[in-house]
Structure 1
Amino acid sequence: MLLSERQTKILAWLKQAGGHLSSQELTDSFNVSVQTIRKDLNELSDQGLVQRVHGGIRLPFHNRNLSFQSRQVINLEAKRAIGSKVADLLPEGATIFIGIGTTPQQVALALLDHPGLQVITNNLNAAMTLCHNPNIETLLTGGRIRPSDQDLMGEDATRFLRRFQVNFGIFGIGGLGPQGDLMDFSPEESYLSRAIIENSDQRILVADSSKHLRKAPVRTGTLSDVDRLVTDQLTTPMAELCEAAGVELLY
């Protein structure tokens, strides 16, 4: 389900407000009825994007990732812009990894007109997208399908990635912690990200601003493992973390 313009603004405001907003603030700001705001908040809550509390909403606490459908609509335009920036970085004939997640999926969509690549991925959506470009050779890992995330996971997938040494490793992350840690939501996801990091000449992290300073349970690495961060916008704390780690920024 796509978010309305008002729902997108509510999420952005919620984050800027420190994670809590009252229903009265929202009705006053948008000049709409209580019933209209209630409908917006119920839909956002149903998608796991907010948590309803007495008198308003707050950001949820996540020990697991949001559903794939929810992640597809969060910051969609920002993810499309990130995908386009990454596509412009990749020369013809390069070999690349594309990791799991909705932002790497947008990278694949941005490659539909690319003159030629070899892509290795465990991202089912990326592989299906790249089938439409005859100039791209796509190698898909084996492994266990996660229907909820539309990807391939497990030892077979990780072992397959480790057979290659590619020019560019493009991957997303569950969150970028306040100390510059790369965080994932499961050990399986972390193993895949490490395989990409350790078998790529250049490591490109794609993460929209909703991932900045966000925690997740599993530590995969640090920003120093990354050569370039491609994002949509940057706060001062995140810019300082990247500068300290020697990470090139593109936004």
Structure 2
Amino acid sequence: MSFTEHRLELIRDLLRQMQRVHVKDLVDQFKVSQESIRRDLRELETQGFARRVYGGAVLDRQESDQPFAERLRVGAREKARIGEAAAALVKDGMKIFVDEGTTALACLKHLKTRKDLTIVSNSLAVAAQFYYSATPSVRVLGGRLRPDYQATFGPETAAAMKEHFFDLAIIAISAVHAERGFMDYGEDEAIIRRVARAQAKRSVIVADSSKFGRLGSIHTFGLQDVHAVITGSTLTKDFSDQFLKSNVEIIYA
């Protein structure tokens, strides 16, 4: 086995363990040039094992296919920063919707000190964050339970959401494509996210850098259809130009 092949196998192992690798970290670990690492990542992408993203690569496996506990760990540090930035938009007295997506859930630990706050969600994981807390007020929407998401979906959930109006909707997303907009892999998630956006005075997408450039299977809504996007890495020009043109605020966490 050549040195390059050995390095590729080690990068595969890192991706299996961490779900994501960064060019800088790999350069430091293997003592090779950035161009060598980028060639490695291109090769892994050609093999269908990895998908390159800004600054590195992620395991080429749809996040929706992973168990809920695994999804929480993928990109946890970036999601934590995004969650903190999303929580900063929440003011005392608001009524907000928090999506079941793991990036949206990252905001919850920052909301326990808010006064007179009401959180509405289809996520059981949201409720679990506040089992032993008297505040905020939490309402979980009924519907068909999907254990893989620890959340409710379906017509009953969508109908229940339409009874509420939100000051802010914090919405996760599965994929962001420059031409096809915000996308999901399943119809259930897309429907709930569309209703949340429609019922909110302000809608904010929270998406870690691995979501950008990814192509989902269902169009959820257009890039121009939200008020702000929160992410953890600088966006490429094609995305930033489109958001700027549509007056969508970009917030870097």
Provide the residue aligned with 1:66 in structure 2. 65
Task: Tell whether the 8 Å contact from 2:168 to 2:200 is kept in structure 1 after alignment.
Answer: yes
RMSD between aligned residues: 2.9
Provide the residue aligned with 1:87 in structure 2. 87
CA distance in 1, matches of 2:111, 2:205: 17
- CA 230–163 in structure 1, closer or farther in 2 if over 3 Å, else same: same
Task: Tell whether the 8 Å contact from 2:180 to 2:219 is kept in structure 1 after alignment.
Answer: no
Moved more, 240-249 or 197-206: 240-249
Provide the residue aligned with 1:187 in structure 2. 187
Mind listing any 5+ residue stretches in structure 1 that lack a counterpart? 17-25, 33-49
What is the TM-score when the length of structure 2 is the normalising length?
A: 0.77
What pairs with 1:206-217 in structure 2 (closer than 5 Å)? 206-217=206-217
4+ runs deviating over 4 angstroms:
3-10, 50-53, 60-64
- CA 180–246 in structure 1, closer or farther in 2 if over 3 Å, else same: farther
Mind listing any 5+ residue stretches in structure 2 that lack a counterpart? 1-12, 32-43, 52-58
What pairs with 1:31-46 in structure 2 (closer than 5 Å)? 31=30
Task: Measure how far apart 1:239 and its partner are.
Answer: 1.3
What is the TM-score when the length of structure 1 is the normalising length?
A: 0.77
Provide the residue aligned with 1:175 in structure 2. 175
Task: Tell whether the 8 Å contact from 1:63 to 1:216 is kept in structure 2 after alignment.
Answer: no
Task: Tell whether the 8 Å contact from 1:207 to 1:230 is kept in structure 2 after alignment.
Answer: yes
Deviation string 1:209-234 (CA, Å, 9 cap, x unpaired) is: 11112111000111211001111112
| Counterpart among 22, 34, 39 of residue 12 in structure 1 | 22
CA distance in 2, matches of 1:81, 1:71: 16
Provide the residue aligned with 1:249 in structure 2. 250
Number of aligned positions between the proteins: 218
Percent of pairs with identical residues: 23
CA distance in 1, matches of 2:106, 2:145: 20
Deviation string 1:101-124 (CA, Å, 9 cap, x unpaired) is: 101111122212323311110011
